Amino acid sequence: MKWEAIYQEKLVSIEKAASLIESGDTAWFGACSSAPIQLLEAIGDRYESLENVDLITAMALYPYKFLKSKDYIGHLNFHTIFYGAFERQFYKTGNVNVNSIHLSNIARTLREHYEVNTLLADVSEPDEEGYMYYGPMGVVVNGEVAEMATKKIVQVNKFQPKVKGVKHRIHVSEVDCICEYDHELPVLPQPPISDIDRKIADLLLPHIPDGATIQVGLGGLANAVGYGLEGKQNLSVHTEMFTDSMVYLAKKGVISGKILAAFGLGSTELYDFVGEGKVELAPISYVNNPFEIGKNKDFISINACLMVDLTGQVCSESLGHFQYSSTGGQLDYVRGASVSEGGKSFICLPATVNNKDGSIKSTISLNLPDGEIVTTPRADVMYVVTEYGIAHLYNKPIRDRVLAMIKIAHPDFRAGLLDEAKTAGLLS
């Protein structure tokens, strides 16, 4: 049977597709811009007929109805393995279950802990062979979930690009059900670049050689570094997230080597660029594997954090006991850089944050505050950067680390940190 006939045979309404979800199912649905929004809302419409359905994703970009009311708890239970803005917005409602794992472990976590049996994915229109593509975001894990799921339901969306990669598509013959709904992909607005971001970027940029392979995270600082690289030559990319700054560098010819990513997230321009086949996508279990990262010579990893203690312990995901984001891929890339020939990893943060009363607080402290999570252990940290300088910590004695961290703290806090370090016995 030709694929066109198979497609028509499996094509149903969104409501019919939603009816295939049964009590007790555990479903992964595409993260961020790869979510089948209308299918998920249709599943939400029939929540009263369902019991103990677990819906798992990472960093939702849509305010799903099952996030907004306690009524869904026990019927449709929402789980996230990367805690984002919408999850934080609706956390107090009670139907947001937070996990925090290394992104390289997503597939294993879905298979061994959640025991996922269902894939819900937003996909492209079929190509001439009948393959539907997961798009810039979906390759991150959809292909691996398809291998473990016994039920595969897709929503075809003409706005979802056909992408290049590995485990990046699924054939019409491999799915149980097809529904259709065209919607533009949710974009991730870019935060502004602050003066402090620019100062940190200016300190970093001289340490990135021509010909390096880069990984840059998300946020104003990442953008300051990314766009600041326009004076470099012959860069390559090996990153979990392909960003708008990387699109800019590629179009200017600064990135002339390979571009490998687990996903692309940002603007419509970025989605179009990835859809042109200029980015190689692969599952994040491969892309974020530190040993694969380390195969790149002169690998440069740049990530942001929230706080660092005087010995170099890094918190990037919590404010006290309040979960703010998740572990993500930071440690994957820090460790990958450490095994790269000429590799370097930089953890960046502003030296202070503002208190509610307008005063400032140091982000470098003797100890991390109660409840704050160590995202990256001190023994893995290479460089910590604030607007006041770069502290080289890797493999250094604790005394040297403490002194290096005090030097990059805000000047108003250096004397106090020095006294605290002496009182604690970190310095004599």
Q: In whole numbers, what is the pLDDT of the chain averaged over residues?
A: 96
Question: Which residues touch 231 (CB under 8 Å, ≥6 apart)?
Answer: 205
pLDDT of residue 356: 87
pLDDT over 90 at 11, yes or no: yes
Residue type, 300: I
Domains annotated for the chain, with CATH where assigned, are: 3-180 (3.40.1080.10), 195-424 (3.40.1080.20)
What's the whole-model pTM score? 0.95
Distance, C-alpha 304 to centroid of its chain: 12
Q: Output the DSSP codes for 353-420.
A: EE-TTS-EEESEESSPPTT---SB-GGG--EEEETTEEEE-TT--HHHHHHHHHHTS-HHHHHHHHHH
List the structure tokens of 177.
Answer: 């059900």
147 is catalytic: no
List the structure tokens of 325.
Answer: 């984001």
pLDDT of residue 390: 98
Tell me how many degrees the CA angle 153-157-160 measures, rounded to the nearest 5: 110
| pLDDT range class, residue 8, cuts 50, 70, 90 | very high
Catalytic residue (one of 9, 41, 174, 240): 240
Residue listed under structure tokens 């572990």: 327
Write the pLDDT tens digit of every residue in 347-396.
999 999 998 888 999 999 999 999 999 999 999 999 999 999 999 999 99
The DSSP output letter for 102 is: B
pLDDT of residue 194: 95
User: Which of 127, 199, 212 lies closest to 170 in space, CA to CA?
Assistant: 127
Query: What distance in Å separates the CA atoms of residue 361 and residue 209, rounded to the nearest whole number?
Result: 34
Query: What distance in Å separates the CA atoms of residue 295 and residue 273, rounded to the nearest whole number?
Result: 26
The DSSP output letter for 233 is: -
Q: What share of the chain in percent tops pLDDT 70? A: 100
Can you tell me whether residue 9 is helix, strand or coil? helix
Write the pLDDT tens digit of every residue in 180-217.
999 999 998 888 999 999 999 999 999 999 999 999 97
- Rounded to 10 degrees, what is the CA torsion of 127, 128, 131, 134? -10
List the structure tokens of 165.
Answer: 């990669």
List the structure tokens of 114.
Answer: 């959640």
Write the pLDDT tens digit of every residue in 15-64.
999 999 999 999 999 999 999 999 999 999 999 999 999 999 999 999 99
pLDDT of residue 219: 85
pLDDT over 90 at 112, yes or no: yes
Q: Give me the helices (H) in 357-425, please.
A: 398-407, 411-424
